Structure formats: structure tokens, C-alpha cells
Structure 1
Amino acid sequence: MTATALVPATGGVAFEDGSDHGRVIVSGRETGGRYALMEYVVAAGGPEHQSAPSPAYGAHGHREIEETFLVQQGELQFLLEDQVLTLGPGDFVRVPPGARHGFANLTAEPVRLLVSFHPGGFEELFLRHRTDQHPPPRPLGFIEDAVAEFASEFEDHPLMTCGSA
């Protein structure tokens, strides 16, 4: 028989990621590595982002991880391969392994997402490199670990590998 668990609205493990924040609701450790689920809140973009000619989406990919994004609140610009989609509440995106993706909040309001990782494990980087810890994490630690541990690729970054392979 499979164990069940209730995670209340205040449960999980909370973290800060710069101006963004979230909580790991279910970790890969809890699912035998099958998946992980986290809530992620993307901070308001503000006027400087709204008028930028080319928003920074943080384009990246994960060779072995499928990710899903469900917008719960707000409006998000989502980069999927070479297409930019405008997502609103209830919109869902499935990002298969290796697909180039990223996002930007260009609005004055935060965006609340549910994000899943298949298989689980990647969510641990958000906890390991949380910005609300002392001492603070290494500046490139998240990206270095994502590249080394999860075959992730990042564009426009010192450790960039996207598009070069």
C-alpha cells in the first residue's frame, strides 16, 4: 500500500531565490525520485522590465528533466524553444527534456506558479542555494550544480553550454 501525505498550505520547505520565493511541496526524496512539486512566486517585474526591448528570460534547458508549469495567479511571459507565450491563470506548459525555456514577469504584480520536475531532485538546488541562508550561497553555485548534476544548459552565462553542443 502506498503512503499518502497531506501538505497544508503552510507546509513544505520555504526558500527565497533573490527577489523570488517559493516552497518545495513534495521533494524527489519523498517520491522515490519519481517527481517533485514546488510553488514558485516570480516577483513583480516593475516598469524597467515592461519597457525593456528584449526581456531576460533566463533561457536554459535540462537534458534529462521534464518540467511543468501551471500559472495560478498573474501573467507570465514564457519562452518555449523560440516562441514567447503569454500565460495567465490556469495556463499549463509541459517542457520536455532538452527543450529551451525560461520566463519573465513583465507586470507590476507577482506571478504564482506550480512547478514540477520529472524525475525529482532538481528542486533540491533551490534549497541548497537559497538566498535566505547565512552564509549566502556561492554566486554561480546554483548554475554550476545544475550543469554538473543535472546536465542543464544555460544561455548567456559564463558556464553556458546551450547551443554550443
Structure 2
Amino acid sequence: MPIPPDDLGRELVVTDAEADGAVHIALAGDTYTMLVTGAQTGGAYCLIDMHVPDGGGPPLHRHDFEEMFTILEGEIEFIFRGTTAIARAGTTVNIPANAPHHFRNRSGRAARMLCMCTPAGQDEFFRRCGDPVDGRTAPLPPLSADELNERRQRAQTLAPQYATEML
């Protein structure tokens, strides 16, 4: 099969989590910085820098796309189909599509990881569910119980549009 021609409409993406204009989203007790979006990759994948404070992490969920995490700092507890694995800095974890999973930082200090989702879409889901913050390690917005409940409801409502199921 021949290789298609170069898509001149696509641009080189060079960024980092501290770049001016970086989008930082507070969600599930974490801050997710959009490094490379689906819009920039023609929907092929997205890359998200995740700052996960002690105790942070999303609820149990599953989705129909691959998700890969590389731990940059600290350690994260991954729960995959009910089995727990601890991933430390330098470790890469791949979550197959459709598998129930979640992660939690129980290390006593903040952790940082990169998350790549293939194909893209998780970046938009996070943007629509979370709250913008000023930086990767900026304080999370103080949310009332009603506001937290509204964010959970928003995620539940939007999840099917992003091939995600909250369990």
C-alpha cells in the first residue's frame, strides 16, 4: 500500500506544560495539561501531562480507546480489572481499550505522568468536564458540594459522546 502524500494542512507541534497558552484543566482532583490535542493530530491521538496530587485520580471507568501512561515523577497505583499495580517514575502502563480501570496517587506526594490516548477525544472530554486553571501545579478551584455534584453529572452526561462509561 503506498504512503499517502504529506498533509500540508498539519503543523509541527512543539510545546511543554509550562508554555504560554497551555490549557490546564482541573478534574477529579488532578490537573490535566493538554500537550498535543486531537485537533493537532487529525484525531490520531492526544497527549496529556497529568499532575496528580496525593489522593488524586479518577473514578472507575472504561472506554473504547487505548490509554498509555508514563510516570515521570512519583508513583501511581493503577487498578486494572480489579488487580492493583504500582507504577513508579520511569514506568509505562498501557490500558487496553474497554477494560475497567482507574488510578490513585497514594504515595504521600504529588506525581506527574504523561497520558496518551489513541485515538484522540479524551482531551476534549476533559476540557468539557473540568475547570480551567492557571497552571500545571496551580491550586484547584474550591468547589462546593453542589458544584462537585454538577461536575460529576456533566461527566456522566458527556461520557457516551466520548466512548467512555463511568462505572
Please classify the TM superposition score into its range, dividing by the shorter chain length.
Answer: 0.7 to 0.9
The verdict on how the C-alpha distance between 1:154 and 1:129 changes in structure 2, with shifts beyond 3 A counting, is closer
RMSD: 2.5
Separation in 1, partners of 2:161, 2:58: 22
Could you give the per-residue CA deviations for residues 58-90 of structure 1, whole angstroms, max 9, x where no partner exists?
A: 22110x211111111111110111210011001
**Residue segments in structure 2 that go unaligned for 5+ positions in a row:** 1-5, 134-140, 142-146
Partner of 1:100: 100
**What is the CA distance between 1:57 and its match in structure 2?**
6.6
1:141 aligns with 2:149: no
Partner of 1:60: 61
1:122-133 alignment to 2 at 5 Å? 122-132=122-132
* Conserved 8 A contact 1:29-1:121: no
Separation in 2, partners of 1:130, 1:150: 14
Partner of 1:154: 166
1:1-165 alignment to 2 at 5 Å? 1=6, 3-11=11-19, 12-45=22-55, 58-62=59-63, 64-132=64-132, 138-139=150-151, 140-146=153-159, 148-155=160-167
**What is the CA distance between 1:39 and its match in structure 2?**
0.4
Percent identical pairs in the alignment equals: 27
**What is the CA distance between 1:131 and its match in structure 2?**
2.6
For normalisation by structure 1, the TM-score amounts to: 0.77
Separation in 1, partners of 2:130, 2:58: 20
* Conserved 8 A contact 1:57-1:78: no
The verdict on how the C-alpha distance between 1:128 and 1:39 changes in structure 2, with shifts beyond 3 A counting, is same
Number of matched residues? 144
**What is the CA distance between 1:154 and its match in structure 2?**
2.0
For normalisation by structure 2, the TM-score amounts to: 0.76
**Residue segments in structure 1 that go unaligned for 5+ positions in a row:** 47-55, 156-165
**What is the CA distance between 1:17 and its match in structure 2?**
1.7
One-letter code aligned to 1:10: E
One-letter code aligned to 1:67: E
One-letter code aligned to 1:59: L
